[in-house]
Amino acid sequence: MRQIWKSFRALYFASLMMLIGSGLLSTYLALRLAADQVDGLWVGALMAANYVGLALGGKIGHRLIGRVGHIRAYATCAGIVGAAVLGHGLVDYLPAWIFLRMIVGLGMMCQYMVIESWLNEQASPKQRGLVFSGYMIASYLGLVLGQLILVIHPQLGPELLMLVALCFTLCLVPVAMTRSIHPAPMRPAPLEPLFFMRRVPQSLTTVLSAGLIIGSFYGLAPLYAAQQGLSTEHVGMFMASCIGAGLLVQGPLGRLSDRYDRAWLIRGVAGLLVLAALPLAIFPSVPMEVLLAVGFVASLLQFSLYPLAVAFSNDHVEGERRVSLTAMLLMTYGVGASIGPLVSGVLMKMFGSNMLYAFVCFTALVLVLRIRPKAVTNLHQVEDAPLHHIAMPDSMSSSPLVVALDPRVDEQVVQDQMQTATDATEPEQPGAETEAGPERVVPSGEGVVRPVAVVDDDVTTVAQDARPDAVHDASRDVGVDRPL
């Protein structure tokens, strides 16, 4: 693991800083609106706008990366996100905040795509599981640290926005300083919604429900805690403990998922979530100790639904369709995460803050009734099912390209389905260089000699691919337009 950390520490650090900024921004905006006595509908709309931006960013990010390359796309989006964050401090007009929140989500999705495609490009098949787990840890740790900043600095002044912008500025450094050539541009995986609705309907239902619950949690849990009378630092503690539960549950959940029927596990987790969240749904006000304890248990369960659904769906889909499956699951999750904050925000405005967990209970109860393990025929179950459980991050900290890091998915399948074909390249734009300059040989810094290509007067080293025979065409990253 130490060698993995050493090899990928720059990308892990970039992910960590991004998620610190993202987690802090979500909680800050909710608390800021709560302090201004703004109802939960606006808070929910802000989180919904973030998920709409994440969904749009998947398409726009592919085009941007294909046009200017990974590093320039990442730097562009990080700059735009930083400007959008600071824009929240310049205007108090809520519709403008919604637009800025969407821009933040859009830019972050492009940044996720750059980091994940880079990790996949440099990870060997044997390392992919460890590389992926390191990425998961960095992502969840960033979300937790973002909440703990509020414990240290509870004042809701503009300096917190400056700190968020600072995080998005620092995440630029490791990517901008890299000497590796851009990874190969990738195009979106094909969506086959009708096929997956017929093949894995219960998994899609679970993912949609997880999006409804977790989207509402990220957007409105800070508002709920503030309306329970918690101070800003205690709200930060509450959010940090709940998000930390999402990381802690992944290990035990994987062991259970590999031993027991996953359909029954999904139903059981949903039923336990109903019971765990019921006290917070019934009582309008609870002591802080009860809120922290019950919130932690409820979070252990709610963050279990998405990875269980992903594992369950992979058991019933052939390997060559798993890239498309992940894209479909993330799209379904995004739809739920966009709708959930709006619905729960309306309920909180009309009936009180405890309606957040009433909405969680209702959604989980519907899932208990909808998931019918006896209806699973296993007619399309893959030969090696149940596949080894892999914890999957939700779309708060991943992009559709994260499937490329999943060790259950064959690397060649990912390349065949998602990598842009070289023969589909369009004619170059005027003034763009299409051929690499003369090659030279320079030391890599670790005693290994690697070739470099001189492109646009910049010396960039070829990425250290796990496949020794993989040689990247430098012309793909010099402004060539590609159909996506």
What is the domain-level CATH number for residue 328? 1.20.1250.20
Report, as an integer, the average pLDDT of 346-365: 93
pLDDT at 439 over 60: no
Tens of pLDDT along 250-290? 888 888 888 888 889 999 999 999 999 999 999 988 999 99
pLDDT band at 80; cut points 50, 70, 90: very high
pLDDT at 344: 94
- Flag whether pLDDT at 214 surpasses 90: yes
pLDDT at 421 over 60: no
Can you give the pLDDT at residue 403?
64
Total Cβ atoms within 10 A of residue 73: 25
The pLDDT tens digits of the residues spanning 165-174 come to 999 999 988 8
Cα separations in angstroms, 311 against 112, 131, 142, 194, 296:
22, 19, 25, 20, 24
Query: Do 149 and 290 lie in a common domain?
Result: yes
Q: Which stretch, 115-119, 124-128, 146-150, has highest mean pLDDT?
A: 146-150
Q: Write the pLDDT tens digit of every residue in 22-59.
A: 999 999 999 999 998 888 889 999 999 998 998 888 77
For residue 454, give its domain range. Answer: 422-477
pLDDT given at position 414: 61
What pLDDT score does 31 carry?
Answer: 93
Residues 264 and 227 in one domain: yes
pLDDT of residue 1: 59
pLDDT at 442: 37
Confidence band, pLDDT 50/70/90 cuts, at residue 481 = very low
Sign (positive or negative) of CA dihedral 139, 141, 144, 149: negative
Nearest-10 Cα torsion for 75, 78, 84, 89: -120
Q: Are residues 242 and 359 in the same domain?
A: yes
332 and 362 within one domain:
yes
Length of the chain: 484
- The total of structural domains in the chain comes to 2
Q: What distance in Å separates the CA atoms of residue 15 and residue 398, rounded to the nearest whole number?
A: 10
In a domain, 260, yes or no: yes
Domain's final residue, options 387, 418, 449 = 418
| 55-64, 346-355, 453-462: range with highest mean pLDDT | 346-355
- Residue 145 pLDDT > 80, yes or no? yes
What pLDDT does residue 319 have? 67
- The mean pLDDT of 9-23, rounded to a whole number, is 90
| Residue 231 in domain | yes
Average pLDDT over residues 64-68: 84
Residue that wins the pLDDT comparison between 417 and 430: 417
Q: Average pLDDT, whole number, for the chain?
A: 79
pLDDT over threshold 70, residue 91: yes
Provide the pLDDT confidence category of residue 477 given band limits of 50, 70 and 90: very low
The burial of 17, by beta-carbon neighbours within 10 Å (0-12 exposed, 13-18 middle, 19 or more buried), is given as buried
Residue 206 has pLDDT above 90, yes or no: yes
77: its two tokens = 């989006």
Residues 287 and 436 in one domain: no
Residue 340 domain-assigned (yes or no)? yes
